[in-house]
């Protein structure tokens, strides 16, 4: 079992919908979590990070960590075609960054 | 002004050849990385240097050799290329907070290697 599991998708939703992207993780050592966004033929860029359980909000994006169920989520409100990208979750633990495989998101106009 | 730049962006070569990819960052970061991203988008760390010193050396064939002439540059040389080496190679840099090995990663645009 990989330390960070992520459904590769693709996930296709209509413009304006609320998007939910999820990862599960194993190993409960102290950690923080990151979401990166990667546009086609570009490098990943940091979208959000969070240290603890609960929610963190930044504009249309909300990152949520549920440590009891080892679940990491990213919610996108009022999704736009420009949000179409691959979203990678990552966990920092034991001096390493562990990556999920990425979920490809397609927002249809 | 590009923060992390890598060259070339595209590389098509024959099996058995040797090739190099260069990376430069102008962010003043101490730590640089090479990642390999396969066709399924899975990012795998290969190497990490902190101030020209190798700190992460994952299980990678010794045909891959990184070199850091200074903390702003990290190059990757690959000998005897194989079909399985086809992937996108990303250079990244970060400035880790005290007590950590990784901070926010800033990635280059990637070098797409195709081995025929």
- Residues of A whose CB is below 8 A from B42: 99, 101-102
Q: What is the predicted pLDDT for the residue at A35?
A: 95
Chain B closest-CA separation from residue A14 CA (Å)? 24
End-to-end alpha-carbon separation of chain B, Å? 34
Tens-place pLDDT, residues B6-24:
999 999 999 999 999 999 9
- Residues of B whose CB is below 8 A from A8: 40-41
How many CA atoms within 13 Å lie on the side-chain side of A48? 20
What's the pLDDT band for B39 if we cut at 50, 70, 90? confident
Q: B96: which DSSP letter?
A: P
Residue A3: count of CB within 10 angstroms of its CB: 16
What's the pLDDT band for B40 if we cut at 50, 70, 90? confident
**Sign of torsion over alpha carbons B102, B106, B112, B113:** negative
- Interface probe with B: pick from A4, A8, A33, A43, most Cβ of B within 10 Å: A43
Q: What is the predicted pLDDT for the residue at A1?
A: 63
d(CA A93, CA A4): 11
Token look-up 């009891």 returns A68
CB A86 within 8 A of CB A104: yes
Contact (CB<8Å) A97/B102:
yes
The number of angstroms, rounded, from the C-alpha of B11 to the middle of its chain's C-alpha atoms is: 14
d(CA B14, CA B52): 31
End-to-end alpha-carbon separation of chain A, Å? 37
Torsion on CA atoms A46, A51, A53, A59, rounded to nearest 10: -40
Q: Which of A8, A36, A42 sits opposite B40 (nearest CB)?
A: A8
Reading the block at residue A103, the tokens are: 């979920």
CB A91 within 8 A of CB A97: yes
Q: Which residues of chain A have pLDDT under 50?
A: none
Tens-place pLDDT, residues B67-107:
999 999 999 999 999 999 999 999 999 987 766 666 789 99
d(CA B106, CA A43): 8
CB A14 within 8 A of CB A83: no
d(CA A81, CA A108): 6
């Amino acid at each position: 079992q990989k330390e960070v599991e992520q459904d590769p998708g693709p996930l296709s939703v209509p413009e304006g919908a609320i998007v939910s992207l999820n990862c599960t993780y194993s190993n409960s050592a102290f950690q923080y979590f990151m979401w990166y966004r990667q546009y086609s033929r570009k490098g990943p860029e940091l979208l959000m990070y969070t240290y603890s359980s609960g929610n963190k909000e930044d504009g249309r994006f909300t990152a949520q960590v549920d440590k009891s169920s080892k679940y990491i989520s990213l919610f996108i409100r009022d999704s736009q075609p420009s949000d179409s990208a691959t979203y990678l979750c990552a966990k920092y633990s034991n001096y390493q960054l562990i990556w999920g495989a990425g979920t490809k998101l397609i927002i249809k106009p | 002004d590009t923060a992390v730049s890598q060259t070339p962006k595209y590389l098509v070569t024959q099996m058995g050849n040797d090739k190099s990819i260069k990376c430069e960052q102008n962010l003043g970061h101490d730590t640089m990385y090479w990642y390999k991203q396969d066709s399924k988008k899975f990012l795998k760390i290969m190497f990490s240097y902190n101030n020209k010193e190798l700190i992460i050396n994952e299980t990678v064939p010794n045909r891959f050799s990184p070199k850091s002439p200074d903390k702003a540059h990290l190059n990757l040389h690959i000998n005897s290329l194989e079909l399985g080496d086809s992937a996108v190679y990303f250079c990244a840099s970060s400035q880790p907070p005290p007590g950590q090995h990784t901070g926010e990663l800033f990635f280059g645009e990637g070098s797409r290697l195709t081995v025929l």
